Amino acid sequence: MSKAPDLDPAQDAPDVRPPKHHAVGLPAVASSLRHVGTQAGIKRGLPLLRGVNQTDGFDCPGCAWPEPGHRHPAEFCENGAKAIAEEATRLQIAPAFFDDHPLTDLADKSGYWLGQQGRLTEPVYLAEGADNYKPVSWDEAFAIIAEELADLDNPDGAAFYTSGRTSNEAAFLYQLFARKLGTNNLPDCSNMCHESSGAALAETIGIGKGSVTLDDLHQADLIIVAGQNPGTNHPRMLTALEKAKRAGARIATVNPLPEAGMRRFKNPQTARGLIGRGTDLTDLFLQIKIGGDLALFSILNRMLLRAGDMAPGVIDRKFIDTHTHGFDAFAAHHATGDDDAALAEAAERTGLSEVEIERLLGMVLAADKIVVCWAMGLTQHRHAVPTIREVVAFLLLRGNIGRPGAGVCPVRGHSNVQGDRTMGVWERMPDRFLDALGTEFDFAPPRDHGLDTVGTIRAMRDGRVKVFFAMGGNFVAATPDTAATEDAMRRCRLTVHVSTKLNRSHVVTGARALILPALGRTDVDAPGGREQFVTVEDSMGIVHASRGSVPALSPHMRSEVAIVAGLARAVFGPNDPVPWEHFAADYDRIRDRIEHVVPGFADYNARARVPGGFALPHAPRDERVFPTATGKANFTVNPVTSPEAGPGRLLLQTLRSHDQFNTTIYGLDDRYRGIQGGRRVVLVNPDDAAELGLVDGAYCDLVSEWPDGDRRAPHFRIVHYPTARGCAAAYFPETNVLVPLDSVAEFSNTPTSKSIVVRFEPDSGTAEAAAP
């Protein structure tokens, strides 16, 4: 096991090599074992790997991809192993750490260095005017929070953020606490990622979740993967795609960057993958311009309608007439103008050739069952919701929702972000949920909608939110407009973070601050000596149990359930009618109450104990019933738009490296893209670079433009890379500073982190001065 680094490594001088053309294989196995051995040690780490994603084990904190019915003994991926190694590390922050490292020192450290210091093991408190965190007891910590909450003019002066790591049980209690306090200010990480998916899907099919199962993927004739990089962000998805491919499916990949995982997959659980060529996944790669997906699906729909005019059976008229609403207006919209001009415009907006678009149309016409998968590449644009509505229309035209082998598949990142929303962590929960919650716990929940993530930042900036409480996550590093967000956070009276490890949010504080150490997924949770399990919901609506297996590093670490219960006692007093401590002693009692409030959770405790868990009801998938305002699936009219950069500018998308999970940085390499030993890089197409005079290996500042002023990310190494023309890419959180707080998606308020107009200016800074 290694020790925590003393020095913060430079991140601005990477070794750059050609990108890879395949993913996983032996290098991924070696990387997994190296990370686990280095962080957790072999004795502690290998048993954890045997238990991850098993029916009697724990759910991997690395992503929300579902488990298959038949599970492999090694049911994890490389990045899952990294996540487990990070959490199960034996490194811990000693009591003297904060004496040796004042806040002014920690504020200059990178997120990577902070995270590598080890697990947080006791509550610490930063007093007003102080420069060092100091140990504090749990009772003292809860009393500080209760004091600040009591001093608020009204409950909406507090905001309660949630990371997708939080279990169903903790999330349910957490939202109950906030609403008992009197606020719906429940921002969460979904506000920044799949909120656009939820908004579009709720409007069009009546439920803001995907409609497919793993079996549907395996049975599909055509799978379109758009705006997603499974090889890094959801590696276990590659196994499902390989199985579909072996069954005869064809795969079209739509992305501004060629990604190794979608080119060729070397499955390490097969001889073909370990020592052979592996499986070629993509049949058609469409290197689309950033933000061109609406134009692509719009022209596909227009062409399908024309094909349907000429040949019966292309369009599923029976399904459309029986189950949908708005088709006539949709068809009329796509009948306006000249077809050839529309195709030419689509080619211009997408950067694709007309031949490429027609090839995709041919694959669509040859397929009976189609699944469309997507992630942040579709959701983080101003026109994200119209784009996803057009994707739904594409599937509705041929009846590809509500039957095997077909449907919508938004692929979520955090392992329980979907479950947290199901449990009520949303600033706009419907009245039926609030009615049930109030009836169950005999109180009147607030009805005014609360603040989402962007709204919370604005409210902190304006002095309307004075107490910020985060259940997990790294809010400052995950959010847009870094300077504005950090300034807003510093305006709070109190900031509180429930965390497993140090991160940037702990060093950007309100007048007072608390860090509360939490148990992770891998840790045994045994209040009073009685082991508990929690439940999570995966990206396809399967709810199942998760049980930690390694002893906690410190007796001062508490579960998220226990933290909420302890806080509630301090705020509401010991005579509150909600039995908080009763819940914390036995999580079955929480699940008993959840089943009275949340639809689909009848017999929750019994079904949670069934190996593999249970599927939540999904009316569009299960019955072709669409609980929308019209009672049917809705076609919508979505005028085509796409972002434009203008002369001398490029469109920048932010993305993860392969050594990264959201804001958690495992290392400084991006193996598949050929970047080793650094993160401050910007990937630029060589032809664009030639036109703009951007020399490979030179350094530049990235500057975004917005009506209220420019934003600058200094000192990025230029890397010539096969991006789409007119497009560039760089890692977040380093480039979050470029995303204006007010640049958000229509209808969902999601930051537009995938379409930032930037210009390149001469280098003005150093990596040390610009560490995230």
Q: Note the pLDDT of residue 4.
A: 86
CA distance 703 to 735: 10
Q: Note the pLDDT of residue 633.
A: 98
Question: Which strands, in side-by-side order, build the sheet including 279-280?
Answer: 23-24, 264-266, 279-280
pLDDT tens digit sequence for 200-216: 999 999 999 999 999 99
More confident residue, 767 or 653: 653
Q: Note the pLDDT of residue 678.
A: 96
- When pLDDT is cut at 50, 70 and 90, the band that residue 766 belongs to is low
Q: Percent of the chain scored above 70 by pLDDT?
A: 99
- The neighbouring-strand residues paired with 289 are none
Q: What pTM, to 2 d.p., does this model score?
A: 0.97
Q: Which two tokens stand for residue 385?
A: 């919701």
pLDDT tens digit sequence for 82-108: 999 999 999 999 889 999 999 999 999
Chain mean pLDDT for the chain: 95
Please state the rounded mean pLDDT for residues 229-243.
94
Q: Note the pLDDT of residue 206.
A: 98
Q: Note the pLDDT of residue 769.
A: 38
421: burial class by Cβ within 10 Å (0-12, 13-18, 19+)? Answer: buried
Please state the rounded mean pLDDT for residues 104-116.
96
CA distance 752 to 176: 31
Backbone angles phi, psi at 110, to 5 degrees: -75, 160
More confident residue, 736 or 772: 736
pLDDT at 144 over 70: yes
SS3 content of the chain, % helix, strand, coil (to 5): 40, 15, 45
pLDDT tens digit sequence for 530-549: 999 999 999 999 999 999 99
**17, 676 contact by CB (below 8 A):** yes
pLDDT at 31 over 50: yes
Q: Percent of the chain scored above 90 by pLDDT?
A: 92
Q: Which residue has the tokens 């150490």?
A: 517
CA distance 434 to 689: 54
Q: Which amino acid is at 70?
A: H
CA distance 602 to 498: 30
pLDDT tens digit sequence for 450-507: 999 999 999 999 999 999 999 999 999 999 999 999 999 999 999 999 999 999 999 9
SS3 of 24-68: ECHHHHHHHHHHHHHHCCHHHHHHHHHHECCCCCECCCCCCCCCC
**467, 491 contact by CB (below 8 A):** no
Backbone angles phi, psi at 261, to 5 degrees: -60, -35
